[in-house]
């Protein structure tokens, strides 16, 4: 049976039953340019920037160095628990990276995807912010980041998501106020449908 192999820049390979044509149609526009920041294969989020090759091969049997994500067969794990935990950690590291990049580049589409509609966020001044308030600040350039870099990231996985605590260095401007300092972000990620989203968060200045 034909399977499509997605090779990532990390060397990892992911296998899916979706055809190469279906994947390319999903992540590219009519000019063949990438128009999606990430795709979802099974329960794994893949940043399209990390994809180096997509190919369809006729293969039989199992290959130990590949991850098989068949929608109809996800009840049993093919990895030891510690390796599964490592891959779960990697998944949330990638999501956190995507969120930082979206903040710095003002990628409204990606921010809209990663933040839950009912997001509850408390900023470093103790103010309550909704998702729409956050998106509007980026749309209107009221908040502009020139640097959003991570100095430390801790991830505690939960049954249906994770809690992340990261030390972030921010540079930029919020209104007339310049931003240049280190902040601690706490985020609660939860699986909503087939997408992990931030449902709650808090930021403190160091």
Average pLDDT of 54-67?
55
Which three-class secondary structure state does DSSP give residue 69? coil
Alpha-carbon separation of residue 13 from 6, 7, 40, 44, 69 (angstroms): 6, 5, 14, 12, 11
Q: What is the side-by-side order of every strand in the sheet holding 177-192?
A: 128-129, 115-122, 195-205, 177-192, 161-174, 143-158
Is residue 74 over pLDDT 70?
no
CB 170 within 8 A of CB 100: no
Q: What is the pLDDT of residue 76?
A: 43
Does 184 lie in the same domain as 164? yes
Domain that holds residue 129: 82-205
* Token couple for 121: 């966020």
Does 58 lie in the same domain as 131? no
Total domains in the fold of the chain: 2
Domain boundary (45, 78, 111) is at: 78
Does 161 lie in the same domain as 149? yes
Confidence class of residue 64 from pLDDT cuts 50, 70 and 90? very low
Does 200 lie in the same domain as 106? yes
Is residue 132 over pLDDT 70?
yes
Of the candidate ranges 25-29, 144-148, 156-160, the one whose mean pLDDT is the lowest: 25-29
User: Which residues pair with residue 163 across a beta bridge?
Assistant: 156, 188
CB 171 within 8 A of CB 154: no
Does 32 lie in the same domain as 72? yes
Does 88 lie in the same domain as 24? no
**How far apart, in whole angstroms, are the C-alpha atoms of residue 89 and residue 161?**
10
CB 113 within 8 A of CB 135: no
Does 199 lie in the same domain as 133? yes
Does 69 lie in the same domain as 90? no
**pTM listed for this prediction:** 0.61
Domain boundary (47, 78, 109) is at: 78
pLDDT digits (tens, 9 = 90+) for 195-206: 999 999 999 998
Is residue 43 over pLDDT 90?
no
Does 94 lie in the same domain as 48? no
Helix, strand, coil percentages in the chain from 3-state DSSP, rounded to 5:
25, 50, 25
């Amino acid at each position: 049976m034909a399977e499509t192999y997605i090779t990532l820049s990390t060397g990892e390979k992911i296998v899916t039953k979706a055809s190469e044509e279906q994947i390319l149609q999903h992540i590219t526009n009519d000019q063949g340019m990438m128009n999606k920041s990430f795709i979802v294969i099974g329960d794994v989020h893949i940043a399209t920037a990390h994809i180096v090759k997509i190919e369809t091969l006729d293969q039989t049997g199992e290959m130990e160095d590949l991850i098989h994500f068949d929608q109809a067969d996800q009840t049993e794990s093919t990895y030891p628990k510690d390796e599964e935990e490592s891959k779960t950690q990697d998944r949330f590291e990638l999501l956190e990276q995507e969120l930082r990049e979206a903040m710095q580049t003002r990628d409204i589409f990606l921010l809209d995807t990663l933040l839950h509609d009912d997001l509850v966020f408390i900023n470093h001044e103790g103010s309550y912010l909704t998702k729409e308030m956050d998106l509007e600040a980026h749309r209107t350039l009221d908040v502009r980041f020139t640097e959003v870099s991570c100095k430390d990231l801790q991830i505690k996985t939960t049954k249906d998501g994770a809690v992340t605590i990261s030390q972030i260095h921010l540079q930029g401007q919020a209104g007339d106020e310049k931003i240049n300092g280190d902040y601690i972000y706490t985020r609660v990620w939860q699986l909503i449908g087939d997408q992990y989203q931030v449902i709650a968060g808090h930021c403190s200045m160091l």
